[in-house]
Amino acid sequence: VELPAGRLAALLAVLAMSAGQTVSVDRLAIAVWGEDLSVDARANLQTNVRRLRRLLGAELVATRAGGYALEAEPDQVDALRFDRLLDLAAAALDRATQRDRLVEALWRGTPFDGVRSDWLEQTHAPRLLERYLAALERRVDLDLADGSQADLAAELGELTGRYPLRESLWALGALVKTWL
């Protein structure tokens, strides 16, 4: 489903980050309109929920006491699935299974790309990005342990370009270069 950019996308993203759970009207209002609510957030929220229901289907956005919920399983939301897969990778007893879970979990792009919400950018995006980078570094460690240095040089070069302040990526890149 293609959503118009703006508040509708932010509303869906906030609901999705709590898939299956009630999100309070207050939290939705702050996440979608920000701290400075110069609009009637409750009325605007109801209007946007109606619009979202028309696009997704009425059964997917439930009204609950005090708020709304996206009727979806956590694995239907990429960010929640990502968290679950990282937890499975951390619990894996062997390197191959751990690597497979990490590869399955890792995404391309930026969390909430194109979604305008200061609340998401301040609460969820930094945590997701940190977990992503840590998982990526762990996957590189596993590849190095399995002798896959040649394939990593270009990837680490691109990653250090994208995240120039991430010292651990520079260290991994330097390590790979010494082995080539």
Residues 23-55 pLDDT 10s: 999 999 999 988 766 667 778 899 999 999 999
**CA distance linking residue 69 with residue 11, whole number of Å:** 11
Look at residue 167 and tell me whether its pLDDT is greater than 90.
Answer: yes
Average pLDDT of the residues in 153-160: 90
Residues 121-142 pLDDT 10s: 999 999 999 999 999 999 999 9
pLDDT of the residue at 34: 83
pLDDT of the residue at 39: 67
Closest residue by Cα to residue 78 from 33, 28, 128? 128
**CA distance linking residue 7 with residue 115, whole number of Å:** 8
Residues 65-115 pLDDT 10s: 999 999 999 999 999 999 999 999 999 999 999 999 999 999 888 899 889
